[in-house]
Amino acid sequence: MKKIYLLLTGLSFLVSACHESFLEEEVFDFVAPSNFYNSAEDALAAINSVYRVFNEEDPYYQRNLYFLTEMPTEMVTTRLDNNHVRGILDIYTWNPQHEYIGTVYAEAYKAINRANAVIDNVPGIGNMDNALRERIVGEAKFLRALHYFNLVRLYGEVPLITKETIGLDDLEKPKVSIPEIYDQIIFDLQEAISILPVSYPASDLGRATKGAAQALLAKVFLQRGQDNSDFQEVVKLCDELRGAYSLLPNVADVFDQNNENNAEVIFDIQNISTFPYGGRASAHLAPVGSQGVIAHGAWSSYQAELPFYRSYSDQDARKSAFFLTEYTLEGGEVVVFNEDDPASDNYVNDGPAITKVLDDNPLNALNRQEPNLILLRYADVLLMKAEALNELNSQPDAEAYAAINEVRQRAGLGPLEGLDYEQFRRAVFQERRWELVFEHQGFFDGQRFWDLYKEKVEMHSNMNIPNTENAVPKLPITVEEKFRYYPLPQGALDRNPALKQNPLW
């Protein structure tokens, strides 16, 4: 099931510790490229080290991308207090010293430097199959693009480094403009599309494919959205994916641990239950004290915002598929969440838990859960197409309705029709919330729908919620313009005199 076992080598790009990257610490244990890149085995070890960043400690930047992309939204909250590192993200009081802001930045650049090393050195290996050589470089370009896409969406202007960094002399790089970063991302993905295979044998599941590069490029053009040509590219790329991928009939099956790598999944992180390659999402998501297959040692760092949970129709299959409302405590007591109980309006521990990455059979909070972490899937592709067509035509056409209604029909909802541009835009935003909650999309979608995002977050935070025992009430929030991007980490600024803090921070 989990076929990529990512290898740690002695190369300079692998020296980073838990919360550091090549940008933030001294370089040691350097092996010159001429002494390493001598065979196909070396090339595979190098590209595997780029994938390995996904799995180190916890999936996807030590699980912290979840916190940065979901916790500030109107969809997710935490039982933890407002001074906790996670509670701070929930109430918009973060600053450049925030731990997760620094960790994500460092982990992304660690992956980028490893990808740069592959791109710089693998083409020079003579005694290996040419197709394998090209494929490995294509994988590295896809991964570099993915990590830069995360950086530009999270922080805006950042340093653009496209050559391997093997010493300290080249680390003082200034920021470049957002358009420059997008140009590099698009270039890398177009190269990857021309190189990568459509599929792999079972032994290589989890590697980047042509379809993954196409789906990511569609997402890039949609996020940039600078003119109609970007939206045209989104539609073209989404159409190219039709047939290669499809919606599963039952939405719950998409996240079934026994049905991984299914027809809807375009790219995912392949987890295994062995330290340090899996993750602890089950511990963060499951209710505290819950037993058995739900979780041992659960922390309940995340919960669904109650107004968001209530926004699902009872006929929507995603309401029961994506959320847990009944569980058994270790002592045998059954807890049932009642959304109609006035006491549920408090942000307490017995709110709906999010189930998308819960392990069917977790070991304990400190061991790693096994479910793969889906990064790109076909439902997202359909919703991207619907959004792009609405922007392209200034109103929804038949294809736009067909795309969004395919997702809605699978969920058990009726079709949309007769909407104008703004009504359809709001419908797409809401459908993306219902379908893609807790898939690293919430904050990034909010950047494209900034007015709707502000409206949702501020409305949820200003509700008149009584403070009862064991409750952590939300505080009134104003989503200021500076929150469109995170600040650059203070540690990065301290280590790089050429780096300047983002405006408004």
Q: By three-state DSSP, how is residue 303 classified?
A: strand
3-state secondary structure 452-479: HHHHHHHHHHCCCCCCCCCCCCCCCCCC
Radius of gyration of the chain measured on its C-alpha atoms: 22
In this prediction, residue 296 carries a pLDDT of 41
- Residue 329's pLDDT band, with cuts at 50, 70 and 90, is low
In the structure encoding, which two tokens stand for residue 68, read together? Answer: 């940065």
**Predicted confidence (pLDDT) per residue in 395-445, tens digit:** 999 999 999 999 999 999 999 999 999 999 999 999 999 999 999 999 999
In this prediction, residue 348 carries a pLDDT of 43
**Do the domains 378-465 and 12-49+90-253+485-495 match in fold?**
yes
In the structure encoding, which two tokens stand for residue 391, read together? Answer: 């922007």
3-state secondary structure 5-61: CCCCCCCHHHCCCCCCCCCCCCCCCCCCHHHHCCCHHHHHHHHHHHHHCCCCCCHHH
**In whole numbers, what is the pLDDT of the chain averaged over residues?**
83
In this prediction, residue 467 carries a pLDDT of 38
| Topology at the third CATH level for domain 12-49+90-253+485-495 | 1.25.40
In this prediction, residue 104 carries a pLDDT of 95
The span from the CA of 319 to the CA of 315, in Å, is 8
Backbone angles phi, psi at 137, to 5 degrees: -65, -40
Residues 6+ apart with CB under 8 A from 299: 283, 284, 288, 365
Taking the alpha carbons of 426, 437, 68, 1 in that order, is the dihedral positive or negative? negative
The span from the CA of 393 to the CA of 322, in Å, is 33
CA nearest 303: which of 53, 46, 27, 87? 87
Domain range list for the chain: 12-49+90-253+485-495, 378-465
- Residue 358's pLDDT band, with cuts at 50, 70 and 90, is confident
Taking the CA atoms of residue 206, residue 209, residue 212 and residue 218 in that order, the dihedral angle to the nearest 10 degrees is: 170
Is residue 123 a contact partner of residue 42, using CB atoms and an 8 Å limit? no
| Topology at the third CATH level for domain 378-465 | 1.25.40
The span from the CA of 123 to the CA of 131, in Å, is 11
The span from the CA of 92 to the CA of 72, in Å, is 7
**Predicted confidence (pLDDT) per residue in 41-85, tens digit:** 999 999 999 999 988 766 677 678 989 999 999 998 876 677 788
How many residues are there in the chain?
505
In this prediction, residue 417 carries a pLDDT of 98
Does 295 score more than 60 pLDDT?
A: no
In this prediction, residue 15 carries a pLDDT of 33
CA nearest 357: which of 278, 466, 463? 278
- Cα–Cα distance list, 170 to 11, 22, 161, 174, 417 (Å): 17, 11, 10, 11, 56
